[in-house]
Structure 1
Amino acid sequence: MLIALAPVIADNDPLPAEILATADGASHAAGDLLMRTSSLAGAIRRGGPIDMVEEQFRLAADKARTIAEACERAATGLAAISHGGRQ
């Protein structure tokens, strides 16, 4: 994928840098989400308080939505590049 974006990056277009930053952010957030849900599984096994587990699942769902939205923005930006225009 970086090979396909190389000509655009060489022209100092800010969109690819924004897309890369979005991808990095989504990757870190996804790692966070994985750790959060893994620790929730442990809390459930240990009989953790249901209220705490429920709230943590809600926070995990919010993070998952944020990750999905960031990925959708990046995909839209890449589609604009691949079709020769800007979004």
Structure 2
Amino acid sequence: MKIESPYNTYLHPGFPPGPICNPGYEALHAAAHPENTKYLFYVYRRDGSHEFTETYEEHVAATKRIAEEAKRKAAEAQAAAPAAP
């Protein structure tokens, strides 16, 4: 955070002087040649996977279900963690 660089936006307000990253080949290819599906929505899971849905109602249900799964997994991890001294 304390590195002096024109790309350090903590020290220099605004945009950096150039790109900070770029997409890979797969991302560019997928954007240029999208698959033909009926999916309109997606939900990102913390494990990096996605759930795709066709309707808003399905999207809302998936969002709630995935959030509940994440809470359950966090509670299980907390319960399995050793007690603090």
Shorter-chain TM band: 0.3 to 0.5
Larger Rg: 2
TM-score (norm 1): 0.36
- Greater fraction of residues in helix: 1
TM-score, normalising length: structure 2 = 0.37
